[in-house]
Structure 1
Amino acid sequence: MTDPLFSPAPVEIAPGAVHVPGWLDHAEQRRLVDLCRAWVRGPGGMTRHRTRGGTMSVAMTSLGWYWRPYRYSATLPDGTPVPPLPPILGELALRALKDAYGALPDPAPDYDVALVNFYGAGATMGMHQDRDERDDAPVVSLSLGDTCVFRFGNTATRTRPYTDVELRGGDLFVFGGPSRLAYHGVPRTRPGTADPASGMRSGRLNITVRASGLRRD
């Protein structure tokens, strides 16, 4: 594993892939943790989806659009419409792009979907590509709670070459451009590493914000 990245400055892991340690302060982390608790109690609940590889160990809530392997839907499993993406996440995503890349793309992406993933003890995420979107806007990933090992690979294969990055609570990771379809995953988390000041007692929350490129009829 590569050494943890302690610098508060953006660090380019691969072309278009940027890690910003400590991007969220404690107050922002607590606010997001509280919001996540409210969101998971919402209409969509939390689901451990079944994929081609089996049932996921990570529990997920969808916001803006409902994700199920391997597509988005404008309705929840019970047929009710999915509420729009909470504005705070769209605002954070645009701020993240500016801080990671130094400027916003022109035009700015229309972020409209987010996945909230909860990693309990032993939960992992296999190497995969985020390719269900029709828009190639960068993916914005926010970490809360326990530290994880984030494995960021290449666009051709799930195997090497890849870089292991330690993501702590409050860290930002953005990947777009040449790295937009890079394989990535979480081989392990580090239980008990959450900073109590963040509002997380245990486990890891990961919020990924994307632009679906879809239209509601």
Structure 2
Amino acid sequence: MYDAVTDVPLTVRGVLIYKGYLSAPAQAGLVEGLRGVIARAPLFSPETRWGKPMSVRMTSAGTYGWYSDRKGYRYERRHPSGVDWPPIPGSVLDIWHAVTGLERAPDCCLINLYRDKARMGLHQDRDEADFSWPVVSVSLGDDGLFRIGNVERGGKTESVWLSSGDVVVMGGAARLTHHGIDRIRPGSSTLLKDGGRLNLTLRVVD
């Protein structure tokens, strides 16, 4: 892992993209820590508010977990099984503190697993109470085509391939920028035993 204070990120529409932020050993260590999280709070397939199943599987760590069903999008204090969400691994928190410079820790680490044709349409992260806190995203595994839009829906977009070990920071004017994953590039990484892409999204909820 390098020092984000001295290395200049790629900036796209105010979104900061730290290419190759995590070394291969750091990526492997993160995956190992996440195995314990997923064992305690297994991945599940959420529904949209319109009852359509999402193409990604997900779980969370932290005080809250992000959740979606016909009742809408929201944070919950427990996994659908009824257990509390596991703590966010220290190695994940280290990334948050390093790239944001904040002492305040995130309340939620959303873990999304993309396989095959899984995608995530353009959306805003706006279920949180205070948008002054940034959102940090960590890519692990197969490449994902990250689309960056505008604060207002519509208009031209730009896309960047995110590789395993890349870290994205959305803060300031870019905090509510629409963004999504159009597709992954299967087989582009050997990090995950069964393939696919893990995306960690860190947010302050309260």
Q: Please, what TM-score do these two structures have when normalized by structure 2?
A: 0.87
User: Is residue 22 of structure 1 aligned with residue 15 of structure 2?
Assistant: no
Aligned to 2:45, the other structure's residue is in SS state coil
- 1:34–1:84: structure 2 CA closer, same or farther, 3 Å change rule? closer
Aligned to 2:88, the other structure's residue is in SS state coil
User: Is residue 154 of structure 1 aligned with residue 150 of structure 2?
Assistant: yes
* Contact in 2 for aligned 1:74/1:82 (Cα 8 Å): yes
1:46 aligned partner, one-letter code: L
Question: Residue 82 of structure 1 is aligned with which of 81, 85, 99?
Answer: 85
Cα deviation digits, residues 62-93 of structure 1 (max 9, x gap): 11112212111222334433333333322211
Question: Residue 185 of structure 1 is aligned with which of 168, 180, 198?
Answer: 180
The offset of 1:143, in angstroms, is 0.5
Aligned to 1:202, the other structure's residue is in SS state coil
Mapped partners of 1:183, 1:200: distance in 2: 31
Mapped partners of 1:20, 1:11: distance in 2: 6
> What RMSD, in angstroms, separates the aligned Cα atoms of the two structures?
1.7
Q: Percent identity?
A: 37
The offset of 1:55, in angstroms, is 0.8
* Contact in 1 for aligned 2:140/2:197 (Cα 8 Å): yes
User: Which residue matches 1:123?
Assistant: 118
- 1:184–1:56: structure 2 CA closer, same or farther, 3 Å change rule? same
Cα deviation digits, residues 114-156 of structure 1 (max 9, x gap): 0111101111111111111113211111101101100011111
Question: Residue 163 of structure 1 is aligned with which of 158, 164, 167?
Answer: 158
The offset of 1:200, in angstroms, is 4.8
Mapped partners of 1:22, 1:181: distance in 2: 24
Q: Please, what TM-score do these two structures have when normalized by structure 1?
A: 0.82
User: Which residue matches 1:208?
Assistant: 201
User: Which residue matches 1:4?
Assistant: none
Question: Residue 71 of structure 1 is aligned with which of 70, 74, 83?
Answer: 74
User: Which residue matches 1:113?
Assistant: 108
1:177 aligned partner, one-letter code: G
The 4+ residue runs of structure 1 with deviation greater than 6 A are none
Mapped partners of 1:80, 1:118: distance in 2: 20
Cα deviation digits, residues 31-87 of structure 1 (max 9, x gap): 111222221111x21111101351111000111112212111222334433333333
Question: Residue 138 of structure 2 is aligned with which of 142, 154, 161?
Answer: 142
User: Is residue 12 of structure 1 aligned with residue 11 of structure 2?
Assistant: yes
Mapped partners of 2:9, 2:194: distance in 1: 27
Mapped partners of 1:145, 1:73: distance in 2: 27
- 1:9–1:201: structure 2 CA closer, same or farther, 3 Å change rule? farther
Aligned to 2:30, the other structure's residue is in SS state helix
Give the gaps of 5 or more residues in structure 2: 1-6
Give the gaps of 5 or more residues in structure 1: 1-7, 98-103
